[in-house]
Amino acid sequence: MSDAVLGQFKQPEKEKVISSEGRKFRVGIIGTGWIAESHIESYMNQPDVEIVAAADLIPGKARAKLDHYGLTNVRCYNSHKELIDNEELDGVSVCTYNRQHKDPTIYALERNIHVLLEKPFTVTLDEAVEICRAEKKSKAFVSLGFQPRFDENMKMIKKIVESGALGEVYYIQTGGGRRRGIPGSTFIEDKTGGIGALGDIGCYSLDMVLNAVGYPKPLTVSGYTSNFFGTNPLYSIPDQDHTAEENAARFNVDDFAAAFIRLEGGIILDFRISWAMHLDTPGDTVILGKKAALRIPSTECWNGTVGGEMTLYTDTAGLRTETKIPILKASKPLFEMKIRSFLDAVKEGKPAPVPSSQILYNQAIIDGIMKSAEAGKEIEIQIPEI
Ligand SMILES: NC(=O)c1ccc[n+]([C@@H]2O[C@H](COP(=O)([O-])OP(=O)(O)OC[C@H]3O[C@@H](n4cnc5c(N)ncnc54)[C@H](O)[C@@H]3O)[C@@H](O)[C@H]2O)c1
């Protein structure tokens, strides 16, 4: 991928740099549900970080979570505003459900506080655009919580594409699926999750290939969504607050999505994702280039990982050849690398490790799939100026 293509995402370095000497990096946790646990544990493993406060809308929830980790002196609040207004912070982890990604992120950026925002970026493209505009005015950045980016196998996919081994890429098939894998909790209602499988795990599939080919701009999309499984008590699962029947009754997001997307540069992207279906996987990811093609095996329960050794198919001296690319092991847990990369970028005044300028296109595709599914026809993807 040419420097010109990648260069469009190069961010200007931000002014606000935290000195690595003297005091610790002061972080706040916004939303203390399930994923906040991984943030708290990863921050606690960093010697140069102090968790100074946490907030949750549910009274007592933040306190209970912090106490569980022995963080009994860390202050607790009942909203992101209270936390940000009352604390001196260098950064926040926004670990709220999708419908509450935008407000805490913008509130922090407006006060020049760096944000590590959980995936997916937002629910709608408009919300993502609002965040990007707030970031543009801020001295701080927002980095998106896509930990598969730090997986050596994901990096290898990008390296293979960038090496030119595939030649010009013209078609990509991606997505992943679960035969049974519908979450419960806040993921399955529009008022909290906003989007279902499409946002939850679809954003990872899109990032895997879009990042590899340099995030070309999406142009048009013909999308489809359905929810035949989540709404059926036979397939929905209970969680700690609801029976399977209750979860089926409140399920009002997608559990399956498919789309045909045209990207700038003439690349076709064929995408499908599922939380549940009568199939183990909707297929491997394949990247077809004019010189070679890459097959990336899917996983049984898709969560953004490479499912086995990849295969590079090409012709060598007139012979059809296949090269196996072995699975590479990570040196550290991916989540810890995601947290560390955020801290290092802030401390060293570097750009966001997973920048909003890239994930805006990821969100534009998700938004386009929802709009096209609603309209029942192909639509143009319009991305406003930031
Ligand atoms: N990176 C990953 O591997 C990964 C894994 C799971 C979830 N996630 C993402 O993390 C986010 C949260 O998921 P979860 O499973 O922890 O959800 P959750 O529902 O368990 O927790 C979210 C919490 O945020 C609180 N909250 C909402 N708005 C708030 C606000 N304005 N101020 C303070 N608290 C607020 C809620 O009360 C709730 O306790 C989702 O966007 C999800 O997609 C990422």
The model's confidence at residue 299, banded by pLDDT at 50, 70 and 90, is confident
Q: Which of 41, 98, 118, 149 to mutate to test the pocket of ligand 1 (most atoms within 8 A of CB)?
A: 118
Residues 6 or more apart in contact with residue 50 via CB below 8 angstroms: 24, 25, 26, 27
- Residue 266: count other Cβ atoms within 10 Å of its Cβ: 12
Q: Does the C-beta of 305 come closer than 6 Å to ligand 1?
A: no
pLDDT at 176 over 90: no
pLDDT at 182 over 70: yes
Q: Does the C-beta of 185 come closer than 6 Å to ligand 1?
A: yes
The model's confidence at residue 18, banded by pLDDT at 50, 70 and 90, is low
Q: Does the C-beta of 148 come closer than 6 Å to ligand 1?
A: no
The model's confidence at residue 14, banded by pLDDT at 50, 70 and 90, is low
Give the atom of ligand 1 at the shortest distance from the alpha carbon of 200.
43
pLDDT tens per residue, range 62-88: 999 999 999 999 999 999 999 999 999
Please report the domains of the chain, with CATH numbers, ordered by start residue.
3-148+335-354 (3.40.50.720), 152-329 (3.30.360.10)
The model's confidence at residue 300, banded by pLDDT at 50, 70 and 90, is confident
Q: Does the C-beta of 211 come closer than 6 Å to ligand 1?
A: no
pLDDT of residue 367: 98
Give nearest CA residue, ligand 1 atom 27. 96
pLDDT of residue 143: 98
SS (H, E, C) 112-130: CCEEEECCCCCCCHHHHHH
pLDDT of residue 93: 98
pLDDT tens per residue, range 20-62: 557 899 999 999 999 999 999 999 999 999 999 999 999 999 9
Q: Which of 10-14, 208-212, 346-350 has the lowest mean pLDDT?
A: 10-14
Determine the residue type at 61. Answer: K
Omega within 30 of 0 (cis) for the link into 353:
no
Give the pairing of strands 379-380 and 319-325.
unpaired
pLDDT of residue 9: 46
What mean pLDDT, rounded, does the chain reach? 94
pLDDT tens per residue, range 115-156: 999 999 999 999 999 999 999 999 999 999 999 999 999 999
Q: Does the C-beta of 145 come closer than 6 Å to ligand 1?
A: yes
Which pTM does this prediction carry? 0.94
The model's confidence at residue 13, banded by pLDDT at 50, 70 and 90, is low
Distance (Å, whole) CA 115 – CA 239: 30
The model's confidence at residue 177, banded by pLDDT at 50, 70 and 90, is confident
